[in-house]
Amino acid sequence: MAAVTTLILVYASRRTELPDAGSEDRSLLAAARAQWPVILTGIVFVGSAGFLWNGLFNLYGDYLEVAKGIDPETGRLLLSLMFAAGVPAFFLTGMLADRVPNVPLLLAIVVSFALSVVALTLVEGVLAIAGVSLLVGYSIHSLFPAIDTYTLSALPDRHRASAYATFSATMMSIQALGSGTIGLAVSRGFSYTPLFRGLAAGVVVVSAVMVGLYRAELLPSGGAPGETPAASAD
């Protein structure tokens, strides 16, 4: 499927007149220096929530077995359900991100995700856990189209590709540490529930700081609702 999709993409790109908006974008360092406020804002949003998410989904089956008494097979089904919630999340939140201010939307998504993780640690029973798993999956997958819309609309043509690459590489490096950190803590005797609740609380605290910075107009606002990246490039 990956090979066929690649061939289709090559065929479509050859038949399409693509813009040359990024022709001046030739330096990662120059883009990072010029666009660090946007890059850092994106890293904080995705890095904080992504760290928790990485630890949650990689250790989800073990967490459900240890803390909730759910067998591994059912745990795998619940994990699949959590990821399935991402399909409507990408579609619906992607459309919403084009229509509303991006920073308030990102704040709402990140806080919703943190609260849904806390709710997951509180509920019992397969049906209740399945329902909350849907909320967790929907909220975290909503973050990805929202942050892409924010960063790509806030970055100018001359730096967009390199600055986005810098943002992506950094935030991925941060969130990739989540499962290893939580797994190590569990192996040292800590329990999943306080770990997940503590990390969720940390995400809420980070979000509160971001709210203060946004109200003080210290965060890049991103593009205006309905505005294309090219229109907001400068």
Q: What is the pLDDT of residues 161-213, one digit of tens each?
A: 999 999 999 999 999 999 999 999 999 999 999 999 999 999 999 999 999 99
Residue 26: predicted pLDDT: 84
Q: What is the pLDDT of residues 110-132, one digit of tens each?
A: 999 999 999 999 999 999 999 99
Residue 221: predicted pLDDT: 82
Crossing angle (nearest 10°) for helices 102-122 and 192-215: 160
The answer to whether residue 2 sits within a structural domain is no
**Beta strand extents in the chain (DSSP E only):** none
pLDDT at 232 over 50: no
Q: Mean pLDDT across the stretch 142-148?
A: 96
The answer to whether residue 172 sits within a structural domain is yes
CA 64, CA 54: separation in Å to the nearest integer? 16
Q: What is the pLDDT of residues 83-102, one digit of tens each?
A: 999 999 999 999 999 999 99
pLDDT at 230 over 70: no
CATH number at residue 58: 1.20.1250.20
Domain range enclosing 74: 36-215
Neighbours of 170 (CB within 10 A): 17
Residue 21: predicted pLDDT: 73
In degrees, to the nearest 5, what angle opens at C-alpha 171 toward C-alphas 55 and 156? 150
Report the residue count for the chain.
Answer: 234
Q: Are 133 and 32 in contact (CB under 8 A)?
A: no
CA 80, CA 78: separation in Å to the nearest integer? 5
Give SS3 for 212: helix
Q: Radius of gyration over alpha carbons of the chain, in Å?
A: 19
CA 212 from centre of chain = 21
Q: Are 143 and 109 in contact (CB under 8 A)?
A: yes
The answer to whether residue 206 sits within a structural domain is yes
The answer to whether residue 10 sits within a structural domain is no
The answer to whether residue 30 sits within a structural domain is no
